[in-house]
Amino acid sequence: MKSKPSFSRLAIALAALSAFVTSLTAADAPLVKTGTKVAFLGDSITQGGASHPGGYVRLVESGLKAAGINIVAIPAGISGHKSNDMLARLDKDVISKTPDVMTLSCGVNDVWHGPRGVELDAYKKNITEIVDRAQKAGIQVVILTSTLIGPKLDDANNTKAKAYNEFLRDLAKERKLPVADLNADMIEAQSKDAPGGGKVNVTTDGVHMNYLGNLMMAKGVLKSFGLSSADLAKAEASWQTIPDAVTVTAKAKLSLKQMEALEAYAAKQKKSVDAVIAEMLQAAVAGAVK
């Protein structure tokens, strides 16, 4: 006859089971919660992402709010900065502000700036030190792969950037860091057909994000934070009605919902959005001077 397990053994088994269930729950929980301080370290893409309501940093912030999570955002993007610049100002712009989480977006300028850029070996050293210092300060690092440099995947810059992005993916895997693979997301986004013909474009100039690029980046970051599909849907719905999220002209700004309606109208006319806007402006001016 088998002996019954002792109370102590049963308690140990139950405690182990509880710990296991808790670890599963923690793994499924978002990386951020209300009150979490999130620093966004980067270059002009990140600086621009924090400068207006439709920028990716602000979309991350408002998207989380729609999901019931109110973070404290710490914008830390500076135009033109490369990995050496970010390393030099890490303490001042990030660590001294005691964030809980830091997103790291770096690589475009290291490649794009050519002779003034940062070669791969030095880039690896700089990024590794940024991660080391942040982790030593108790900051959870989230790696963002760099976005494309121009639309052609096989041009010199994007070919060179592949090794930089592979390093970021490998480092994240080695350190068990969350990754927003924005490079892959951008390739996918720009492979789709645009409503008015041609391919979707997510930048204003081949590098800096337009409203579609900011949406793409924000969704990538929120996914890396571990948001559920239901919370992502809440975030995307909330973005539709943000005032002034899309800059159409210097003095005309629309919500995403309004911009989508304008794009749909332009597609029906088989014209570009720019052409439709130009026609509307011309008609308005002609009507005003009659």
My answer on whether 35 and 176 are in the same domain is yes
144-164 pLDDT, tens per residue? 999 999 989 999 999 999 999
Task: Reply yes or no on whether the pLDDT at 24 is more than 50.
Answer: no
203-235 pLDDT, tens per residue? 999 999 999 999 999 999 999 999 999 999 999
My answer on whether 173 and 75 are in the same domain is yes
My answer on whether 205 and 64 are in the same domain is yes
Task: Reply yes or no on whether the pLDDT at 282 is more than 70.
Answer: no
Q: Does residue 82 sit within a domain?
A: yes
Who's near 60: CB < 8 A, 6+ residues apart?
38, 40, 73, 218, 221, 222
Q: Does residue 23 sit within a domain?
A: no
My answer on whether 176 and 44 are in the same domain is yes
My answer on whether 202 and 164 are in the same domain is yes
My answer on whether 143 and 71 are in the same domain is yes
Q: Does residue 163 sit within a domain?
A: yes
Task: Reply yes or no on whether the pLDDT at 86 is more than 80.
Answer: yes
Question: Minimum mean pLDDT among 171-175, 196-200, 202-206: which range?
Answer: 196-200
User: Distance between CA 88 and CA 106 in Å, rounded?
Assistant: 13
Q: Is 138 left (phi over 0), alpha (psi -120 to 50) or beta?
A: left
What pLDDT score does 286 carry? 65
CB atoms within 10 A of CB 97: 14
My answer on whether 63 and 186 are in the same domain is yes
Q: Does residue 145 sit within a domain?
A: yes
- pLDDT level of residue 20 (50, 70, 90 thresholds): very low
My answer on whether 37 and 64 are in the same domain is yes
Range of the domain at 275: 252-289
Q: Does residue 4 sit within a domain?
A: no
My answer on whether 168 and 38 are in the same domain is yes
What rounded mean pLDDT belongs to the chain? 88
Q: Does residue 247 sit within a domain?
A: no
Please tell me the pTM assigned to this model.
0.80
CATH number, domain with residue 172: 3.40.50.1110
Number of structural domains (the chain) is 2
Helical (H) or strand (E) element with 101? strand 101-105
My answer on whether 198 and 275 are in the same domain is no
Q: Does residue 46 sit within a domain?
A: yes
Query: Between 240 and 267, whose confidence is greater?
Result: 240
Q: What is the mean pLDDT of residues 248-252?
A: 62
Q: Are strands 246-249 and 252-254 parallel, antiparallel or unpaired?
A: antiparallel
My answer on whether 169 and 69 are in the same domain is yes
Given the structure tokens 């690589």, which residue do they identify? Answer: 107
- pLDDT level of residue 77 (50, 70, 90 thresholds): very high
Q: What is the mean pLDDT of residues 254-278?
A: 79
